[in-house]
Structure 1
Amino acid sequence: MGSEGPKSVRINVTGFKKFHGVDANPTETIVKNLKNYVDSRGLPPGVTLGTCAVLETAGDGAVSELYKVLDSGISSRTNSSNEKVVWVSQNSFACRRINHDTFGSSCRLHLGVSKGALKFALERQAVNEATFCSPDELGWQPQQLPVILGDGGISQTRMTSCPIEAIFEFLKRKGYDANISNDAGRFVCNFVYYHSLKFAEQKGHKSLFVHIPPFSRVDEKTQMQFIVELLEAIASTY
């Protein structure tokens, strides 16, 4: 029985636009340049780069756009004309009925910037709490509200199904300064991650959020290299 080779994993990547205190978000630069970067460099074995999207740094007001991004890469690979997509705002969850077997392994990788960070942080979990320290880019500033109504109280957590320790060890062997974090904050990064983890659970996919330092702490070239190594690390765990 011969080797089947690396399993192909489609990884969709998101970043964020500017927000209060960050006029130039490095995740926007990375995501916008990622396709050209991997076209020139090549992708690691087993990785298929899916959609690369930049999200508005906003919570409830951007939920419908968030789910369009989360759903991208799935719709084109299904053929059920009876499927119905329902986008629901007001902190609710947008649901779609879909056959999990019509697409292969898939992961959504979300990138956010941590302004004072010196290293990369792999986020283990998200919390069902939105408590924004400042208004988001659409002017919303919730305090102790659930990210998703009806999904438990604000202490409810959802954990990534990615083997985060294995991904961390892979990156460590490559020489990157990273850690595993248990707190993604309560701002838009956590808001998006919680929705994504819920979505991934329903679709049989995986989701991972990674906070990166600003370019002033870790230069753009190093960060682009890191993201490609991160894609390989994720694929190696399938």
Structure 2
Amino acid sequence: MGSEGPPSVTIHVTGFKKFHGVPENPTETIVNNLKNYMNKKGFPKGLIIGSCSILETAGQGALDVLNNTLQSSIKGPESSNSGRIIWLHFGVNSGATRFALEHQAVNEATFRCPDEMGWKPQKVPIIPADGGVSHKRETTLPVEEITKALAAKGYEVMTSDDAGRFVCNYVYYHSLRFSQENETKSLFVHVPLFSTINEGTQMQFAASLLEISATRRVCFIELDQI
């Protein structure tokens, strides 16, 4: 049985459309091109891309697509292996100079500007049933380990404890809640603009992140059992 290797990992990926101040969202390009990029590069053994979805850059406006794709992941062929399903969300931070892997999301929607559907909440709990706006949910993936592995490949990357209070945090909080209820995994990654880190490097980064998530999955399973 040892020759079979670790079980496969199914990764579902999301990005966002344009929003205020960012007419061309790099995450839309990354996610739309990711499957073709990986096909040309070659998939590492044990990695399956389950879906690639683009969300509206809107809090409540993104939920229908997000919830449908989240639900489909636990109803499909991989549903019996939910512990090996990862939700990987990409969002842009227009002021960033490097990639950031987010440890957590906060139960607070405080939008600095209206989202793409005109909603501008202030100190509103994302999930009222979870309590107040200070409640946090954390990813169960080993963010520090993944970050170190990416840095070793030469990427400018850091960990972060603050995903903001805008749509990125809003989506991440919903995803983490879903993942914790259904024993899947979730991770949010902020990327810079293409004018800061070019498209080619960002595609390479996304591919490396997928590869690390697949090849190190056995470590994730062991961490779950501690």
Q: Same fold (TM over 0.5)?
A: yes
Find the aligned partners of 2:193 and 2:213 in 1 and give their Cα distance.
22
- 1:27 maps to which residue? 27
Superposed counterparts of 1:52-201, under 5 Å: 52-77=52-77, 101=80, 103=82, 105-201=84-180
Find the aligned partners of 1:61 and 1:15 in 2 and give their Cα distance.
14
SS in 1 for 2:213: helix
Find the aligned partners of 1:189 and 1:72 in 2 and give their Cα distance.
21
CA RMSD between the two structures: 1.5
SS in 2 for 1:155: coil
Runs of 5+ consecutive residues of structure 2 not aligned to the other structure: 218-226
How far is 1:103 from its partner? 4.7
Find the aligned partners of 1:164 and 1:102 in 2 and give their Cα distance.
21
Find the aligned partners of 2:47 and 2:137 in 1 and give their Cα distance.
25
Matched, 1:211 2:190: yes
Deviations along 1:21-79, one digit per CA (max 9) or x if unpaired, are 0000000001111111111111122211110000000112332222012223332338x
AA of the residue aligned to 2:193: P
Find the aligned partners of 2:98 and 2:62 in 1 and give their Cα distance.
29
TM-score under structure 2 length normalisation: 0.91
Q: Do the aligned partners of 2:82 and 2:182 also contact (CA within 8 Å) in 1?
A: no
Find the aligned partners of 1:184 and 1:103 in 2 and give their Cα distance.
25
Q: Do the aligned partners of 2:147 and 2:158 also contact (CA within 8 Å) in 1?
A: yes
Deviations along 1:93-121, one digit per CA (max 9) or x if unpaired, are xxxxxxx6365610000000000111000
More displaced 10-residue stretch of structure 1: 43-52 or 125-134:
43-52
- 1:90 maps to which residue? none
Query: Structure 1 residue runs of 4+, over 6 Å off?
Result: none
More displaced 10-residue stretch of structure 1: 210-219 or 61-70:
61-70
Find the aligned partners of 2:155 and 2:71 in 1 and give their Cα distance.
31
Deviations along 1:131-167, one digit per CA (max 9) or x if unpaired, are 0000001100000000111112100000000011110
Q: Do the aligned partners of 2:111 and 2:166 also contact (CA within 8 Å) in 1?
A: yes
TM-score under structure 1 length normalisation: 0.87
Larger helix proportion of the pair = 2
Q: Do the aligned partners of 1:58 and 1:136 also contact (CA within 8 Å) in 2?
A: yes
> May I ask how many residue pairs the two structures share in their alignment?
217
Find the aligned partners of 1:145 and 1:177 in 2 and give their Cα distance.
34
SS in 1 for 2:73: coil
AA of the residue aligned to 2:89: H
AA of the residue aligned to 2:55: L
Runs of 5+ consecutive residues of structure 1 not aligned to the other structure: 79-99
AA of the residue aligned to 1:140: W
More displaced 10-residue stretch of structure 1: 35-44 or 121-130:
35-44
Q: Do the aligned partners of 1:130 and 1:186 also contact (CA within 8 Å) in 2?
A: yes
AA of the residue aligned to 2:200: K
